A = this chain, B = another copy of it.
Amino acid sequence: MIKKRLGREESQQLTRDKLFDTATELMIRKGFHAASVNVIAEEAGFSKGAFFSNFASKSDLLLQLTQRFKRVEIDRLSTTLTSGYSSEQLSHGLNAYIDTLKNNTRCAILDAELQLIALRDEEFSQHYYDLHEENSEALGKLITIIFNHAGKKPPLEHAALAKTFTALAEGLILQGHEDPAIEIKLVLNSLIQTAEPL
């Protein structure tokens, strides 16, 4: 095994990644305001200076953090959609997706935090909603496949459909609900049953 020597760029990417992860963790645990630059840097094992070598400002971190957070979800959904799975497999996949991703307290809290910031900060708003829309579109397509698989036409367009389920999942978690899977499935099945046939 060859000891890998990191180049400057790789090394910095490592620093940046560690800062991202720590910042995400702290934003979830304490919120954006309480997650101070100093604490983020130190908990990541660096100094304040390293933070500002990697991010122009704290709000720059927020932008990039959001980008990364949403991109991960979008990529996961896109992969599922473009892979050659049958609609049945996708349907099962969605159930898993609902069970795992949306049943993820940490993601829900972070998303709520970001949404509150978006509602108050116009500049951030644009950034967030673009990504959120893309995410919702992808998730909506996936949910639509389930409806279709049951021979039904979903009652809402892609994004609206996805947002409904996201609202359900995240809204329940915010209320302290540990696992919103039951409610989500209840609503999903009910909507499928009452939906118009294809």
Set of chain B residues within 8 Å of A172, measured between Cβ atoms: 163-164, 167
Question: Which of A16-24, A70-78, A173-181 is near enough to bind chain B?
Answer: A173-181
A176-B118 CB under 8 A given contacts A168-B167, A187-B187: yes
How many A residues have CB within 8 A of the partner chain?
41
Write the A165-198 contact mask toward B (1 if CB under 8 angstroms, else 0). 0111111101111001001001101110110000
Pick the contact of A167 from B155, B174, B190, B194 — CB < 8 Å? B174
- Residues of B contacting A109 in the complex (Cβ-Cβ under 8 angstroms): 116, 119
Q: Is A160 an interface residue (CB 8 A)?
A: yes
CB-CB < 8 A to A166: which residues of B?
171, 175
DSSP majority for the A interface?
Answer: helix
Separation of A148 and B100 alpha carbons in the complex (Å) = 34
Interfacial chain B residues near A120, Cβ < 8 Å: 29-31, 34
Bitwise, A130-166 to B at CB < 8 A (1) or not (0) is 0010001000000000000000000110001001101
Question: Do A163 and B191 touch across chains, with their CB atoms under 8 A apart?
Answer: no
A71 to chain B minimum Cβ distance, whole angstroms, is 18
9 A-B pairs within 8 Å (CB atoms) are namely A115-B174, A129-B176, A164-B168, A167-B170, A167-B171, A167-B174, A168-B171, A170-B174, A193-B193
